[in-house]
Structure 1
Amino acid sequence: MPLLTLLLQAETVQDTIAAANTAAATTTAAVTEKVSYLEFVLKGGAMIYPLILLLFFCIYVIIERAMTIRKLSKQDANLLNEVRSQLRAGRIENAALVCAREGNSSAAILKAGIQTIGRPISEIESVMEKTANIEIAKMEKGLGYLGLISGVAPILGFIGTIAGVIKIFHSISTTGNLNIQTISGGLYEKMISSGAGLVVGVIAYSGYHLYNMMIDSYTVKAEAQTLELINIIQSPDGN
C-alpha cells in the first residue's frame, strides 16, 4: 500500500508540473501575440522617439530626392540632334527654345551654351560648366541630411542603450536585487535602441551613397554633352 500511494503521489506531481508548464507556455504565447511591433520597439526607451522622427524624415528626403533627381537627370536622346539641326540652319533662338521646353538639367546646360554663342569658346565652356554646377547642386540639395542622419542615428541608439544599462545597474546597486531575469529583461529592451539606430543609419547611408552615385554618373554625361555642343559650334558646317 505505501508503495502504491507513493506512485500515485508521484503521478499526481508529474501531472501538476505538466499542467503548470502547459499553462505557462500558453500564457507566454498569449502575451507574445498581444505585443505589437510598435509596442516592442517603444520598449527601447526615450531615444526611440527621436529615432522614429529621423526615420520618417529620412524616408521623406529619399522619396523627394528620388523624384527630383529623376526629373532633372532625364535626358532626351533627340535633343542634341534637334539643337544641331537648328544651329545648322542658323536659328540660334529656336535652338534655345527647344532646350527651354524640356525642363531638365541637360537642356538647361545646353541652353546656357547656346545663348553665349558668338563669344570665345572658353567663355562658352565656362558658362556651361557653371550652369552644370548649379544643376548638380539642385540634385544634391538635401543629401547632406541623409549623411548627417547616417552618422547620428547609430550614436543616438548607442546612447539609449548605455543610458538603459546605467539605469539597470543603478537599480541593482540600490535594491541589491541581482538576478538574471532583471538583467536580461532590461538589456534586451535597451538593445532595441541600438538596433533601431543602426536600421535608420543604414537606410540613410544607403540613400546618401546611391544618390551620389547617380549624380556622379549624370555629371559624366553632362560633360560629354558639353563637349558635343562645343564641337557643333566649332564645326564649320554644324556637323
Structure 2
Amino acid sequence: MTLLQITTSSAVDTVGTANGEEAVSIIDLLMKGGYMMLPIVILSILAISIFVERMLTLKKASKTPGQFIDKIRNLVLGGDINGARLICSQTDTPIARMIEKGISRIGSPLKNIEVSIENVGKIEIYRLEKNLSLLATISGAAPMMGFLGTVTGMIQAFIAIAQEEGSVSPKLLSEGIYEAMITTAAGLLVGIVAYLAYNYLVAKVQKLVHSMEYTSIDFIDLLQEPR
C-alpha cells in the first residue's frame, strides 16, 4: 500500500512538472514572436470585447414577451391606444419601439404608418449591427499581421545568418524560422475565431430582423382589421 502511494505521488509530481514546463514553454514561445505579437494580442482582446458586448445586446433585444403582440392587438382593437403605447414603452426591445412608433401614427394613412415603422426598423438594425464590420476587419487583418510578422522575422533571421562567420549552425536557422512562424499561427488563430464569431453574430442579427419584419407585418394587418 505504501509503495502504491509513493508511485502515485511520484507520477502526479511528474505530470505536474511536465504541465508546468509546457505552460512556460508556450508563454516563452509567444514572447519570442516579436513586436508584431502586440497588435495581434490587441486585436484578439478587441474581438473578444466586441463579441461579448454584441451577444449581450442581441440577447436583450430578443427578449420580447411571448404575449406582447396579443396584448397590443387586444388593446388596439379595444380602442385603448394609450394602454398599448404604455406596454411598448415598458418593453425595451427593437420590436416594441417599432410598434410604439406605429401606434403613435394611428389615424394617419396606412402608408405613412408603414414608412414610420420602417424608418425605426432601419435605426434598430443599425444598432444591432454596430461594430460587426470592425469584427470582420479583425478577422482579415489579424492573419495579415501574422504574415507580416513572419516576413520581418525571416528577414531578421537571414540577417543573423549573413552576419554569422563560418558555417551556419542548424540551431540558429531553426530558431529564427520557428520564432518567425509564431506570429503566423497567432494571427491565423485570432482571424479564424473572429471570423466564426462574426458569422455567428450576423446569423443572430438576421434572425432578429426576420422577427421584427414579421411583427411589423402582423401589426399592419391588425390596423386593417374591422373594428
Q: TM-score, normalised by structure 1?
A: 0.83
Query: After the TM superposition, which residues 139-178 of structure 1 pair with which residues of structure 2 at under 5 Å, given as runs?
Result: 139-176=128-165, 177-178=167-168
Q: State how far apart, in whole Å, the 2-side matches of 1:35 and 1:81 are.
A: 59
Q: How far does the alpha carbon of each residue in 1:99-138 deviate from its partner, in whole angstroms, 9 at most, with x for none?
A: 1101111111111111111111111111111111111111
CA distance 1:211–1:33, change in 2 (3 Å):
closer
Match of 2:183 in 1: 193
Match of 1:219 in 2: 209
Moved over 6 A (4+): none
Q: State how far apart, in whole Å, the 2-side matches of 1:70 and 1:115 are.
A: 27
Structure 2 alignment gaps of length 5 or more: 1-17
Q: How far does the alpha carbon of each residue in 1:162-202 deviate from its partner, in whole angstroms, 9 at most, with x for none?
A: 10111111121222442322111211111110000011111
114, 132, 154: which is aligned to 1:125? 114
173, 178, 188: which is aligned to 1:183? 173
94, 115, 119: which is aligned to 1:105? 94
Q: Is 1:231 matched up with 2:212?
A: no
Q: How far does the alpha carbon of each residue in 1:45-80 deviate from its partner, in whole angstroms, 9 at most, with x for none?
A: 111111111111111111111101111122222000
Match of 1:93 in 2: 82
CA distance 1:30–1:186, change in 2 (3 Å):
farther
Give the partner amino acid of 1:215.
V
Q: Share of identical aligned residues, percent?
A: 33
Q: State how far apart, in whole Å, the 2-side matches of 1:157 and 1:79 are.
A: 49
CA distance 1:157–1:229, change in 2 (3 Å):
same
- Larger displacement relative to structure 2 (30-39 or 164-173): 30-39
Structure 1 alignment gaps of length 5 or more: 1-28
Match of 2:14 in 1: none
CA distance 1:97–1:34, change in 2 (3 Å):
closer
CA distance 1:167–1:232, change in 2 (3 Å):
same
38, 44, 49: which is aligned to 1:60? 49
Q: TM-score, normalised by structure 2?
A: 0.87
Q: Report the number of matched residues.
A: 209
Q: How big is the alpha-carbon RMSD for the aligned residues of Structure 1 and Structure 2? A: 1.8
Which of structures 1 and 2 has the bigger CA Rg? 1
Match of 1:44 in 2: 33
1:207 positional shift: 1.4
